[in-house]
Every structure is written in C-alpha cells, then in structure tokens.
Chains A and B, each alone.
Chain A
Amino acid sequence: SYVLTQPPSVSVAPGKTATMTCVGTNIGSGSVHWYQQKPGQAPVQVIYSSSDRPSGIPERFSGSNSGNTAALTINRVEAGDEADYYCQVWDRVIDHWLFGGGTKLTVL
C-alpha cells in the first residue's frame, strides 16, 4: 500500500525558513495537500493542489511537489506557526485518502 513519510520533527528559529518534506513514490505525479493542527484544535488546510493557498493563509506558506518529494515551506517563521503539519493525497483509482504521519514544527 502507498505510504507517505514525514520527518517526526523539525526545529527552526524565529524569522528563519522551515521546510517540511513528504516522501512518497512518484508523489509528484499528483496533487498534495497540507494541514496545520495546533494542540486541541481541528486541522486547518494551509496548501492545496501542491502549491495553492486557501484564502486567509499567509503568503509565507508555500508548497512544491516533484519526483518523490513534496514540501511545505514556511518563510519568516513565527511562534504562532508552531504546530503539527500533515501532508495528504487522494488515490482516486481506489477512492482512498491518505495522510502522512505528521511533522511537529518547533519554533526555538
């Protein structure tokens, strides 16, 4: 079965750039979506279709997807960005949806 692999944790200093990866076989051939989840809250979509931002999401958030790796990049990281981040894909052939294991972003 298809697997999405995310690093368990990423740490970054305020004002710097955080990059979180999502690895899957040939993931670049489809769309990847990203969610932010803060403790005790529901997830919030921050990127869809690999690189599009929903309304209300700051321009500091961007996405890319090529080959076997998708990435979520946060520029000028703020303390409020500290959260868990999940990547997600849709296998439309079998109508199954899959999440990566999530990355905990720590702002130092």
Chain B
Amino acid sequence: AQKVTQAQTEISVVEKEDVTLDCVYETRDTTYYLFWYKQPPSGELVFLIRRNSFDEQNEISGRYSWNFQKSTSSFNFTITASQVVDSAVYFCALRSQGAQKLVFGQGTRLTINP
C-alpha cells in the first residue's frame, strides 16, 4: 500500500523566516516518483517539483529547496526567506511506477504573516 503523511497540519511564520514542510511516504515499490504541489486559495493545484526514486540529489530553485532521503522515506520542502505570497496549502504526493494515480498527503496549510 502507498501512503503519504504530512504531519504538520498548519504552520504559521513571520515573513522572511525559513520554513520546512515535512513529507514522509510509504511504498514497497523500488521505483516511484514524488511530487510537491501548491494550492493557493483559488483552488488550483500548482506543480512545483517531481523527484524520481533513483535520483537522490537535492534540488534548489530560487527560494525553494527539496531534501530527498530514501533512508528515512522523506521528501521535505524548505522555503527560505518566506514571503506572504507563499501562503497556501502544500501537498506532497507519490506515484509508483506502473500506477497512474497520485496518492496525496493531507496537506500543510502555510500562513506567512507580514
């Protein structure tokens, strides 16, 4: 069975602080794909990143960075110098090779206060 756990239901920080969103996943498959999506109040899920299970390199994109650790089955997301526009619900998702559907976590609501 596949499962994604985002233990942090809500996080609130002050603008310019760094914040890390946790994601822990479960799968028996050796090949799988991990994703992060952002859902602003408008409702649309915005794709942020995809990571393949065989590529453990961490990635940085501007203020965003992702830390993938297979040993702990985690794929954490860090926002550096947060901004009010980063306020949204963030979802981590998993897809196993051979499966088509995404399995989502429950999401973390991030609020950045000015």
Tell me whether A and B are bound partners: no
- A residues contacting B by CB (< 8 A) are none
